[in-house]
Structure formats: C-alpha cells, structure tokens
Amino acid sequence: MLRKIAKQRWPIAIGLFITLTVTLMQIGNSQLLRRYVERLDLYLYDIRLEVLLPDEPVVHPDIYIADIDERSLAQLGRWPWSRVTMARLVDELAEAGVKVAAFDILFTEAEENSAQKLLDDLALREMLDPEIREQLTTLVDEVDNDKYLAGHLNKLKVVLGYVFHSRAQGKGKLGYPVTKIPEELSSRLTVPARPGYSAALKVLQRRAAESGFLNAETDPDGIIRRMPMVMRYKNGLYPSLSLVAAQQFLGVRRIAPDYLDIGERVTIQAIDLGERSLPTDRYGQMSIAFQGGTHTYPYISVAEIMSGRYRGGKLDGALVFIGSTVPGLFDVRATPLSAEYPGVETHAVVADSIISQKIPYKPAWEIGALVVLLISLGTVLSVLQPMLRPIWLGVTTLLAYLGVVGGNYYLWVSKLFDLTQVTPLLLVSSIFLWNLINTLIRENRERKAVTSMFGQYVPSEYVQTIMESPDSYDMEGDSRFMSVMFADIRGFTDMSEKLTAQELKMVLNRFFTPITKSIFDNRGTIDKYVGDMVMAFWSAPMPDEEHRLHAIQAAFAMQAAIVELKKEFAAEGLPEIDMGIGINSGEMNVGDMGSTYRRAYTVLGDAVNLGSRVESLTKFYGASLLVTAATQEGASEYVYRFADRIRVKGKLEPVTIYEPLCPVTEASAKLYDALDKFHSGLEHFRQQDWSTAREIFQGCLEEPEWQNTHLIQLYLDRIDTMEVQGPGPEWDGVYTHTSK
C-alpha cells in the first residue's frame, strides 16, 4: 500500500492542494467567490427544502389567515375600506375569541372626515349659517373614523404593521424599539439600518397592543428565504410583525438581542424571546421554515368573519394575520416553493416557527466543522482516488456525494441545522475531475508502455487485459511459480552454411511466425529470440493457474506447425528443419530487468536454467519434447513416458524428466499397454535385474506404438554397460550428465 502511495505522490499532492484551496475559499473573504458560492448554496437550499417537505404540513393549529379576497371585496366594497368597516372586522374577531390580530396592512393615511370636508369647502362655508358651521365643528370629532377604529383596537391584542424604506423621512407613529443600541456597539453592528419609515397613524398606534415592520429581504436571486427579526432605525432595534405577533400570542414581555462581539464587527446571533432563543444570521435574519406552498395555513374569507359565523367558534384563542391574496392589491413574494406566495402567509410561517421553535439556522460552529470536513474528506479522496480505476473513481465520488448530502439532510431533519453543501460538493467534484483527467493521462501512458513492453511478446488479449486492468500486472521484480519453455532448431549450423543470409532470415521468420502464434494462442509470453532459439514463459505478466498445461499445449501446437513447415520447405527445396523443446516449472523471478540503457521483461532463476538444460537433452534422449516432473504434475490431461532421472551439470539434486506423448483423450489401449511394458522394464532396470529388463526393452522395440525408440535403445545400451562395468555400490538409478 505504501508503495502505491509513493508511486502516486504527485497526484496526491495536487489533490491536497485542491483541498487547501477550497478550504481557504470557504474561510476567505473573496467577495467574488463568496457571491457565486452563496448563489449555488441557495439553489441547493431550495432543492433540500423541497425534497424534505413533509407529506402533511405540521402547522400550529391556532394560526389563521383572514383573507381580504375577491368575495370580501364584492360584499364589503372596493378597497380601501372605511375605518368603520375595519372596526367592525376587529369587533368580529374579538367576538370570535381571537387572541391576537396582526395586520399585514398599512394605516398610514388618515380617512377623510366628511364634516371637516364641508368646513374646508370655502364656497360652501360662506353659504352656511354660523350656527350650522358651529354644529359641523362639533361633529368633526364625532365622525372621525380613525378615532372610531382606534376605539375598537383595545378589544383584543392588535399588532399593526409599518415599513422601513431607504428614504430619509418619517410618516406616522413608529412603534417602540425592542432595545436601544449601546453606543459602543453602534458603529460595529452588522444589522442593516434604514433611514425612513411609513407607520400607522398616531391615533391608531397609541391604541394598538404593539406594531412591527412588514419588510422582507430577498436573496440575490429575488427569492425570500429569510425574514429579518429586527431592523435598525437610528439608535434603536425594531421588531418584525411576525416576532411581535408571536410575542403577544405567547404572552412574553421581553424581546432582547443576543450580541456576539467578533472583533471589528458585532453581530446578533439570536433573539431572546422570554425563555426562547431564536437563532439568526449576522444580519438579524431568521430562516423561514416553509411547510409547503401557498395555503398551507387555513384561510378564512373576511366576508365570512364579517357575517358573524365565527363568533365563539374555532378562532377562540387564535393568532390571526389579516391580509389579502387578491393579485395586484397586496404584496406577492417569490419563495423557494412558489413564485407567487402571499406576503401575509410568510408572516404566519415565521410566527409559527417562533412559537413552535422550529427554526432552521446556521450554528456558530459551522465554519469550524466545514473546515474539518473539507480537510478530512479532501485528504481521504486525495490519497485514495489516484490509485483507482475510472469506474471506482465514480463509485467513491458518488459515495462522497451521498455522504455529504445525506449528512446535510440528516442534520436538517434532526437538528434543523442549515449547513452549506456547496464547498464540500465542490471539493469532491474538483478532486474527482482532477483524478479522472490524471487517470486518463496515466492510462494512456500505461497503454503505450504496455504496448511497447508486451506487444511483441504476449498475446493480444493479454495486452488488452493488462490495459483494462493494469493493477493485475506489475513490471517490478516478482517471484512466482511459473513455467518456462526453450525451443531450439536442430541442425541450424548446417542450415546456415547452406543458405545465404537473406534465405536464412526468410527461413527463421517463417519458422518463428507459427511458433510464436502457437505460444500466443496458449497464453504464453515470448521472452526472447536468440538465433535459432525461442524462449517463452507462462503465468506472467498475467497470472495463470494452468500455466503448466498451457505450456505443454503450446509445445504440441508448435510440433504440429513444424510438421506443416517441413512439407512446405521440402516442396521448395529448403533444408529440413526439426525442433527440440524443453519445459520446466518452478519458482522464478520475473520483471522488468536490465540496465539504464537497455531493459527487458524476462525471467531468471535456477528453474529457468533447468528448463534450458532439459531442452538441450532432447537430442540425447531422441525426443522432440521433454518436461520435468514439476511440469508433468500440473498437467494430468496428457499421457507421459518416463524418460530418465538425471543429475544435470552443476546440480546435486536429481530431476525426473518425462516425454509427453499425447492428450489423454487421444490415448489408445495399446498405448497404455506399451507404457505398462516399458515402465515394467524400468522397474527391473532399477532393481538391477539386467536380463529381465533387457528382454522387456527388446520387446518394446517391436511395439508399433513407439515413434521414439531411441530412448529404449538408450536403456539397452546402459544395461550392456552395467553388465560389464557394474553399477557400483552407490548407484541410485540417477544418470549424471557431465555437459550442458
């Protein structure tokens, strides 16, 4: 594992650099980057909000919306309604047992006084009798509808609305601030300030229970996701309509900001409402916990309320927001769930969140947690992904995506944590993109290296497999159990003397082509061509559990190819060719070996040397193919004849060699009988029963099953020698070869 990591140190380093860059971007102050990150985060915020919406909205049962709808306008007259009508509405709400009525309506303009209008008409005033003018003056106060409405506002808790605006002017009577801003904090407070306002008439404000602003701030994309809880005017902090309505409904007296001093800036991290703490962002805004689209809360037509049908009914103890859903009459806002969301329902959602304590928020530790997540996730992906193939790159990236999004969604559902998703997803995507590009470059480089290294030495399907799964081979040195073959053209020296250089080249090419094909067709790897000799091995670079079988299959295919070549060469008057093949199996070292100037993928070791010795013995035993016992034991699909137990030059340990005859499926009963007879002669030979052994071997010479009788004659010659010289006291049946 450590070696793989070391090989990928540069891709890993770049992945860690990407991790550092994204982490610094998260904690940095780049306004350009922050702007785009925030926009992406808002988009993901909307997706999360919509995906995690409950099947059935869970809303407070005592929150209602009194809707000034088309039906209400048809029955009560066009807007604006008289203050007398509004007073009747307040009376009906009080009769219905409503606890708090919050008006998403501005009462900034005084209603025209009919008596005052007559007095103000100069022409009419000159015509009126002084006594009548005096009576009209007395009536001015009695027909003041604003005062009339004010006289009804104390029948229940009424919250009036006002708006802050960017014009430096004040209109109407502004309500009381929740607190005065300490002078030492004033210049550093991050809550936005507004220079002007438009509020309710003084006569109405004095009789109302409280008032709150109606402003709603939009995000850069024009969508409302957060609602200001407090806004700054001069040296005071003023509450929103939703906050005040919830305060009155809960019967809480105190609203206080929870300041957080962060050096150069002072922010508000929460609004304390009695025992409740309402988390806000640094601008004093609270996330809106939308439960669904429009009409999530029950709407009641004002026309129905005015008919008296709700007196003493289901509105008892309710919090009612009065507003309108008539297009063009009142405010319509864009939210993540609807492009046309009534502003009055937005206030209801916020008040519900405050009352129910279901407020999504960004915890103070978000930045620290994100930094830890980015570093941890980035480090793991940076180290892991450079070692993976493209499909696993995709799998690990998908798992990282699922982990980030799943964890984010879980914390939203369980804790209402509004944590950013953009930077972790951006980090995962960036590291994936880098490693995908790096993998494609590496695979292209490996493809070229593999083709260069193995294209002329292994079967084409091997090359394809290696390119598809480079991890399945290793060019570094490795020790494994393999099979090696040496094949040599017999009589090459005589042939080279009879042919010109061009003819010899042609003969060798025609010889090596079918030989190589036979090796490739049986999953072998060409090690080298040396003059008239070809060396091949099995189980590298790709592992092959049946390498011994495949080596012998290749040898028989080569013999069949030689038979065809003999016919062609004879027809063309070329010298006859033959071949000796030796195969051994054992532990060998395989890998890319050589010097700085020249390297080759080859095998080394004693087992390789023994394979070469076995090939050189084929002529001695009159066999075209010999294999060692290590090879024979792993290829039981063939029938073998024992050749000899030998001790090669330079080795003390004896080796048993066999002559493969044919596949088991092609062996006849006569062949098995001939083998039994031959092996019986060998048994008598080992027991030094020379006469019996000679008799059996002489009988074997007459067997038509034997194409190679040279081996039988070899044992007859040994018997003659043994009878004359004797085997000696230490004879163990092993024949020692004194030359290579």
| pLDDT category of residue 457 using cuts at 50, 70 and 90 | low
pLDDT at site 582: 97
Amino acid occupying residue 372:
V
∠ Cα 464 467 471 (to 5°): 125
Cα–Cα dist 431/436, whole Å = 8
Cα–Cα dist 516/460, whole Å = 12
Segments in 301-389 forming alpha helices (H): 302-306, 343-356, 366-384
Which stretch of 46-60, 487-501, 688-702 has the lowest confidence by average pLDDT?
A: 487-501
pLDDT at site 727: 84
Contact criterion met (CB below 8 Å) for 341 and 334? yes
For tokens 């009381």, name the residue.
176
Contact criterion met (CB below 8 Å) for 631 and 550? no
Cα–Cα dist 69/71, whole Å = 5
- For residue 670, the number of C-alpha atoms closer than 13 Å in the C-beta half-sphere is 6
Contact criterion met (CB below 8 Å) for 239 and 213? yes
Cα–Cα dist 715/621, whole Å = 10
Q: What's the sign of the alpha-carbon dihedral 629, 632, 634, 636?
A: negative
pLDDT greater than 50 at residue 122:
no
Mean pLDDT of 343-360: 94
Summarize pLDDT for 658-682 with one digit per residue, the tens: 999 999 999 999 999 999 999 999 9
Mean pLDDT of 195-202: 94
Tokens matching residue 447: 């493809």
Strand, coil or helix: what is 641?
A: strand
Segments in 28-99 forming alpha helices (H): 31-51, 70-76, 83-95
> Which positions ≥6 away from 632 have C-beta within 8 Å?
548, 638, 640, 658, 660
Phi (first) and psi of residue 488, to 5 degrees: -130, 140
How many H-runs (helices) and E-runs (strands) does the chain carry?
26, 27
For tokens 């040296």, name the residue.
235
Give kind and range of the element (H or E) at residue 602. strand 599-604
- For residue 631, the number of C-alpha atoms closer than 13 Å in the C-beta half-sphere is 36
Nearest to 536 by CA among 492, 584, 477: 584
Mean pLDDT of 459-488: 71
Contact criterion met (CB below 8 Å) for 323 and 88? no
Report long-range pairs for 75-78 (Cβ below 8 Å, ≥24 apart).
Answer: 75/303, 75/306, 76/302, 76/303, 76/306
pLDDT greater than 90 at residue 113:
no
| pLDDT category of residue 121 using cuts at 50, 70 and 90 | low
Cα–Cα dist 417/423, whole Å = 16
Give strand pairing partners of 93.
none
Q: Considering just the CA atoms, what is the radius of gyration of the chain in Å? A: 49
pLDDT at site 693: 93
Cα–Cα dist 650/534, whole Å = 23
For tokens 């060719």, name the residue.
577
pLDDT greater than 80 at residue 576:
yes
Cα–Cα dist 184/659, whole Å = 103
Cα–Cα dist 137/143, whole Å = 10
| Strand residue runs (E) in 274-318 | 276-279, 285-287, 299-301
Tokens matching residue 73: 């306008």
* CA distances to 180, 410, 667 from 657, in Å: 105, 70, 20
Tokens matching residue 558: 């080569």
Cα–Cα dist 335/289, whole Å = 11
pLDDT at site 451: 58
Mean pLDDT of 25-37: 73
DSSP 78: S
Phi (first) and psi of residue 638, to 5 degrees: -120, 155
Cα–Cα dist 366/418, whole Å = 9
Between 133 and 518, the more confident residue is 518
The CATH number assigned to the domain with range 455-464+472-667 reads 3.30.70.1230
Nearest to 593 by CA among 584, 583, 581, 603: 603
| pLDDT category of residue 653 using cuts at 50, 70 and 90 | confident
DSSP 583: E
How many residues are recorded in the chain? 740
* CA distances to 103, 199, 243, 621 from 213, in Å: 10, 9, 9, 110
Summarize pLDDT for 602-626 with one digit per residue, the tens: 899 999 999 999 999 999 999 999 9
Summarize pLDDT for 288-322 with one digit per residue, the tens: 999 888 899 999 999 999 999 998 788 999 999 99
| pLDDT category of residue 35 using cuts at 50, 70 and 90 | confident
Contact criterion met (CB below 8 Å) for 482 and 603? yes
Give strand pairing partners of 603.
590
Q: Dihedral (C-alpha) 9, 15, 19, 25: value to the nearest 10 degrees?
A: 130
pLDDT greater than 70 at residue 11:
yes
pLDDT greater than 50 at residue 123:
no
Cα–Cα dist 684/104, whole Å = 118
DSSP 67: E
Strand, coil or helix: what is 551?
A: helix
Strand-pair category, 157-165 with 210-213: parallel
- For residue 684, the number of C-alpha atoms closer than 13 Å in the C-beta half-sphere is 17
Summarize pLDDT for 55-79 with one digit per residue, the tens: 888 899 999 999 999 999 999 998 8
* CA distances to 204, 332, 472, 476, 582 from 589, in Å: 99, 79, 17, 10, 19
Contact criterion met (CB below 8 Å) for 37 and 423? yes
Nearest to 51 by CA among 359, 409, 398: 409
pLDDT greater than 60 at residue 703:
yes
Nearest to 52 by CA among 569, 380, 418, 554: 418
Nearest to 30 by CA among 423, 360, 366: 423
Write down the pTM of the prediction: 0.62
Strand, coil or helix: what is 683?
A: helix
Question: Is the bond preceding residue 363 a cis peptide, omega within 30 degrees?
Answer: no
Cα–Cα dist 10/516, whole Å = 40
Q: What are the residue boundaries of the structural domains of the chain, listed by start?
A: 2-52+379-448, 63-356, 455-464+472-667, 668-730
For tokens 């279901």, name the residue.
358
Nearest to 221 by CA among 387, 36, 369, 483: 36
First-residue to last-residue Cα distance in the chain = 44
